[in-house]
Amino acid sequence: MKKASWKHSRVILAVLVTLAAPVVAGAGDNGREAILAAYAAEAKASDPSFSGFSANRGETLFRSVRSGGDERTPSCTSCHTGDPRAPGRNAKTGRRIDPVAVSANVRRFTEGEKVEKHFARDCKSVLGRPCTVLEKGDYITFLEGQ
Ligand code: HEC
């Protein structure tokens, strides 16, 4: 009997540790890492020489000024501002946008559907085309370090 209940409490302990882990790691870490891992797999599949995402390239994408998209939004910073830790302002609607830096908002880039929806819409708005998987991974990698 004693042996069995010990086993039982170890199972409960394991469940508790599993449930607590994401909380300890920070609310969104798991979701964001899963999204990055999926992008990395896709990047590797389309280019075998892919050797990882780059925060520097991500910052260049974030800050560079383009001419292919909507003239109200020549850059990601047109809405997200030059300081990723500060709130942004939608250049089309005037509405406030929460900061995009992960340090300022731990839920950033943790919901695959939201991430894909905004990459599709925002890259078209700025670049006039969808972002590549390399650009998407670089962008998140940059903001994860901000
Ligand atoms: C027209 C204004 C605008 C521009 C320009 C813009 N964004 Fe956004 N972006 C938004 C809004 C609005 C949201 C959604 C609100 C929020 O997440 O707080 C958002 C959210 C996102 C998200 C989802 C964030 C998350 O937490 O999942 C990604 C990814 C993103 N933008 C990427 C980009 C990239 C890359 C560029 C530049 C190529 C860019 N955005 C330029 C307005 C813009």
Which pLDDT score is estimated for 24? Answer: 47
> Residues 90-124, buried b or exposed e (16+ Cβ, 10 A)?
ebeeeeeeebbbbebbeebbbeeeebeeebeebbb
2 pLDDT above the threshold of 80: no
Q: To the nearest 10°, the Cα dihedral for 95, 98, 100, 104? A: 160
Q: How far is CA 141 from CA 32, 56, 58, 62, 92, in A?
A: 10, 9, 7, 11, 26
> Residues 38-51, buried b or exposed e (16+ Cβ, 10 A)?
ebbebbeeeeeebe
Q: What tens digit of pLDDT does each residue of 84-128 get? A: 999 999 999 999 999 999 999 999 999 999 999 999 999 999 999
**Amino acid present at 80:** H
* Closest residue to atom 7 of ligand 1, CA basis: 122
Q: What tens digit of pLDDT does each residue of 64-80 get? A: 999 999 999 999 999 99
* Closest residue to atom 33 of ligand 1, CA basis: 122
What is the rounded distance in angstroms from the CA atom of residue 94 to the CA atom of residue 143?
23
Ligand 1 cavity residues, CB under 6 Å = 73, 76, 78-80, 90-92, 97-98, 108-109, 114-115, 118-119, 122-123, 125-127, 131, 139
Pocket test for ligand 1, best of 63, 66, 80 (most atoms within 8 A of CB): 80
- If one counts every other C-beta atom within 10 angstroms of the C-beta of residue 84, the result is 24
Q: What tens digit of pLDDT does each residue of 14-48 get? A: 555 555 544 444 556 789 999 999 999 999 999 99
